[in-house]
Amino acid sequence: MKWDRLQELNARQAAAVTATEGRVRVIAGAGTGKTKALTYRYAYLVNVLGIDPANILCLTFTNKAAAEMRSRIARMVHSGDYNDFVCTIDGFCVKLLRRDIHRIGFPKTFTILDEDDSRAYARACMEELGIKRTEKTVKDFLAQVSAAKALDDYITTYMLPGVKWTEGMLSSPVACYIHRQMKHYALDFDDLERVANYILDHFEDARTWWQEQLNYIMVDEAQDCNADNWQIVEKLAAGHGNLFVVGDPDQAIYEWRGARPERFTQFASSQDVVLDENYRSTPKILDVANSVISHNRNRIPKNLFTRSAEGKAVIHYHGKNETEEMEWVAAQVRLLLEGGAAPGDVAVLYRASYLSRALEQALLDAKIPYAIWGGTRFFERKEVKDALSYLRLVNDTGDDLSFERIVNVPSRKIGKKFLDGLKERAGREGLPLFAVLKACVAEGGAVRTGAEDFVRMIEEACAAVPESTVSDLLNFLLERSGLKRALREDQDEERLENVDELLRSVRFYETSHGEDDVRLSDYLQDIALYTNQDYRKDTPTVKLMTVHQAKGLEFPYVFVIGLSEGVFPSMRTIREYKKNGEEEERRLMYVAVTRAQRALFLTESEGYNVSTKMSKYPSRFLAEIRRDMFVTEGVMPESLWRGTENMRHVLDEERWGSRVEASEGDPFATERAAYFSPFQAGDTVVHDIFGTGTVVGVNKEGSTFQVRFADGSTRHLRADFLRREDLPE
């Protein structure tokens, strides 16, 4: 039977769609219609071959991508004809387990632990095992459990019915953790895939049932599958042998989570389809994309082309500070909306979620409705709300809502029963909760030391209000309350970055309002404007998201913000994964750029960065794009590119090794300066005007250097005005 929708595809896509049998691989760059081919293939199987959707498994990575895929498919197949085998891999494992987990003695109603649950389990186990939080962080504990689960046949050892638990067994972290899991029949994310694999391996009838059920299997974004994912897919496909995998090695961005892109590049296929025509973006956008990714050494060279019209120039905006950067973005969005774009046509992408704060404030000021895709607004994030509640309570000790929120955050062992007692007495005596707690402490008796300390801290802070700045107060509370310590102990970097960002935004607020004039109550009142914004659910919104969240999606207008060295590429990734880290970050940049259909805006600004604790310079990824491929707006001193080059040099792998050695016994006070400052004491540097000199000191942030020149003079200079002797101008 002929199917006219095949005409909507190019010849290669049509070949991929109609090659329904065997092992087929589509390997192609961004926006070439891979997902389109996959969804059309699904419709082809149903509408032309008459396959029941219940027999087609269609997998992808994020819930958003799965939802998008379902809706594309729903438009092509008769309604009711698509079922929920269009899902994420984890989603599929849950379905498999709901049917078959009874084989290992679990009920169908088993529970799934999210990350917070897992952390709570870990904390409880650490307490049980007497492991101090100073010895090991919760994150380390979980990593240890996860590693043990990857190595051992832990399912046989601990999870099967009939396992005899002995006292001795419980002394190991993994056993203690699983023992707790078994009490609640709970599985964590690691387990979902492992247990599914176990069942497919050990229960032949279950395996055969699924193999017979799933006549056709398709996987989108296959470059991001990890080893467990591949095993599941291969086991299921071993029945009918029809496996269709689609991917782009240049978009592999999950190696840090164990993805194995080489399983995709080395996939044993019976047919390969290569797509190279991009239908998404303008040639100008593609030039930038090709230019970015061409700097990766570990890749098969390929270039995208398009036949679409030239389009608008790619714009790079440089702001003097972050506020200027975000105000510019908001102004551009406003122009786009006035020009007829719908809010949903605009997406703003960033590398790390703390970067949304400055942008959100600019959008709120400009009255542009926005939504954070797959995340929470900055001022609604738990750690930010907690920190602000401390300030609120200090501002007004009668604020019971804030009191309740933080009295036991971080844990002071104040239980619900004790709180209920407080509330009851507060009601009786007509007093705020804090006043009652204070009275309890004064009366002595059975009050927890944590509660006593809490009262003392709030009182100290209250007493300090008249002569402290808001930022000092916040800093004091963050440290003294143990809020930051708890986040550090959990190595919860994202939340730490968010509280640091909050602190930084308070400092900025003070500088822009004249430091001495800012009263705590004024600040809190102002900030309430940002925290209480509510849109109706159906208001169309501009979308803000991390680049990881944006994978597979497309938008007419895309802004990539915060393009500073150390932010994007992320210093942390480069520090941990060195050269591979840089290449993965560059692929991420390629993903970001290739989301844009009609216009692309790349922005960054000067200033101080909270996460790197350094001055900001433009990202190396911007520096790598050929200069005639974008137009720069804003006043951009050329010397800043030199700062980029210097920073990059420091983060470079070989330099790294020699630097750590050289830092032994060096005069730089902080470890950070030794690791991340572009220059160290003793380095020879060149200044355009003052000539050659030697670095003799650095300021605390590692951004300004004291240099002694040949004539004996010493000057404090910024990194972007200096270059290494061995670097060309």
Whole-angstrom Cα Rg for the chain: 28
Binds 645: which of Mg ion, ligand ATP, none (CB < 5-8 Å by kind)? none
Which residue from 12, 64, 280, 351 is in contact with ligand ATP, where contact means CB under 6 A? 280
Binds 13: which of ligand ATP, Mg ion, none (CB < 5-8 Å by kind)? ligand ATP
Nearer to Mg ion, 552 or 643 (CB): 552
Determine whether 355 is exposed, middle or buried from the number of CB atoms within 10 Å of its CB (0-12, 13-18, 19+): buried
Q: Closest Cα to residue 316, out of 601, 19, 723?
A: 601
Structure tokens at 137: 């962080």
Nearer to ligand ATP, 138 or 275 (CB): 275
Q: Closest Cα to residue 249, out of 274, 221, 229?
A: 221
Q: Do 227 and 213 touch, CB atoms closer than 8 A?
A: no
Nearer to ligand ATP, 192 or 273 (CB): 273
Nearer to Mg ion, 280 or 357 (CB): 280
Binds 189: which of Mg ion, ligand ATP, none (CB < 5-8 Å by kind)? none
Query: DSSP class of residue 78?
Result: P
539-578: contacts with ligand ATP (CB under 6 A): 552, 554
Nearer to ligand ATP, 223 or 570 (CB): 223
d(CA 699, CA 706): 8
Q: Give SS3 for 353.
A: helix
Report in angstroms how near the CB of residue 77 gets to ligand ATP at its nearest: 17
Q: Give SS3 for 326.
A: helix
User: How many other C-beta atoms lie within 10 A of the C-beta of residue 332?
Assistant: 19
Nearer to ligand ATP, 30 or 650 (CB): 30
Report in angstroms how near the CB of residue 422 gets to Mg ion at its nearest: 55
Binds 656: which of ligand ATP, Mg ion, none (CB < 5-8 Å by kind)? none
Q: Which residue, chain included where needed, has tokens 């590398």?
A: 351
Report in angstroms how near the CB of residue 552 gets to Mg ion at its nearest: 4
d(CA 173, CA 125): 7
81 is catalytic: no
Element of type H or E holding 391: helix 382-395
34 is catalytic: yes
Distance of CA 75 to the CA centre of its chain: 32
Report in angstroms how near the CB of residue 118 gets to Mg ion at its nearest: 30
Structure tokens at 129: 């095992």
- Give 218's strand partners: 58, 244
Q: Do 720 and 688 touch, CB atoms closer than 8 A?
A: no
Nearer to ligand ATP, 26 or 451 (CB): 26
Which residue from 188, 248, 255, 490 is in contact with ligand ATP, where contact means CB under 6 A? 248
Nearer to ligand ATP, 231 or 281 (CB): 281
Report in angstroms how near the CB of residue 539 gets to ligand ATP at its nearest: 25
Phi, psi of 224, rounded to the nearest 5 degrees: -100, 10
Catalytic entry in 351, 595, 616, 659: 595
624-663: contacts with ligand ATP (CB under 6 A): none
Q: Do 432 and 500 touch, CB atoms closer than 8 A?
A: no
Structure tokens at 670: 């902080």
Strands of 276-369, DSSP E: 314-319, 346-350
Phi, psi of 546, rounded to the nearest 5 degrees: -75, 160
Report in angstroms how near the CB of residue 602 gets to ligand ATP at its nearest: 18
d(CA 499, CA 475): 10
d(CA 569, CA 619): 7
Catalytic entry in 181, 251, 306, 546: 251
Q: Length of the chain, please?
A: 729
The 398-437 contact track toward ligand ATP, x by CB under 6 A, reads ----------------------------------------
Nearer to Mg ion, 354 or 555 (CB): 555
Size of the site for ligand ATP (CB under 6 A): 18
The 681-720 contact track toward ligand ATP, x by CB under 6 A, reads ----------------------------------------
Q: Give SS3 for 226.
A: strand
Query: DSSP class of residue 345?
Result: G
**Considering only 6-14, 200-208, 529-537, 542-550, which stretch makes contact with ligand ATP by CB under 6 A?**
6-14
The 136-165 contact track toward ligand ATP, x by CB under 6 A, reads ------------------------------
Q: Give SS3 for 57.
A: strand
Report in angstroms how near the CB of residue 204 gets to Mg ion at its nearest: 35
Q: Do 193 and 218 touch, CB atoms closer than 8 A?
A: no
Q: Closest Cα to residue 270, out of 24, 28, 12?
A: 24
Which residue from 3, 5, 6, 10 is in contact with ligand ATP, where contact means CB under 6 A? 10
Catalytic entry in 100, 188, 193, 220: 220
Element of type H or E holding 245: strand 243-247
Summarize as ranges the residues that interact with Mg ion (CB under 5 A).
Answer: 34-35, 552
- Give 601's strand partners: 315, 559
Q: Closest Cα to residue 406, out of 351, 450, 446, 348?
A: 450
Nearer to ligand ATP, 250 or 565 (CB): 250
Structure tokens at 582: 């840089």
Nearer to Mg ion, 34 or 72 (CB): 34
Catalytic entry in 13, 25, 32, 34: 34
Report in angstroms how near the CB of residue 455 gets to ligand ATP at its nearest: 55
423 is catalytic: no
Phi, psi of 641, rounded to the nearest 5 degrees: -60, -30
Nearer to Mg ion, 34 or 484 (CB): 34
Which residue from 279, 530, 577, 641 is in contact with ligand ATP, where contact means CB under 6 A? 279
d(CA 329, CA 508): 19
221 is catalytic: yes
Catalytic entry in 193, 221, 224, 720: 221
Report in angstroms how near the CB of residue 344 gets to ligand ATP at its nearest: 15
User: How many other C-beta atoms lie within 10 A of the C-beta of residue 424?
Assistant: 11
Q: Does 249 bind ligand ATP (CB under 6 A)?
A: no
Q: Do 677 and 649 touch, CB atoms closer than 8 A?
A: no
Closest CB to ligand ATP: residue number: 33
Which residue from 9, 97, 232, 458 is in contact with ligand ATP, where contact means CB under 6 A? 9
Which residue from 13, 215, 408, 680 is in contact with ligand ATP, where contact means CB under 6 A? 13
Report in angstroms how near the CB of residue 72 gets to Mg ion at its nearest: 10
Please give the order of strands across the beta sheet that includes 714-718.
Answer: 714-718, 704-709, 691-698, 684-687, 722-724
Binds 607: which of Mg ion, ligand ATP, none (CB < 5-8 Å by kind)? none
23-82: contacts with ligand ATP (CB under 6 A): 28, 30-36
Report in angstroms how near the CB of residue 218 gets to ligand ATP at its nearest: 12
Catalytic entry in 35, 39, 549, 594: 35
Q: Do 126 and 141 touch, CB atoms closer than 8 A?
A: yes
Report in angstroms how near the CB of residue 8 gets to ligand ATP at its nearest: 6
Query: Looking at the annotation, which residues are catalytic?
Result: 34-35, 220-221, 251, 595
What is the contact surface with ligand ATP in residues (CB under 6 A)?
A: 9-10, 13, 28, 30-36, 248, 251, 279-280, 552, 554, 594
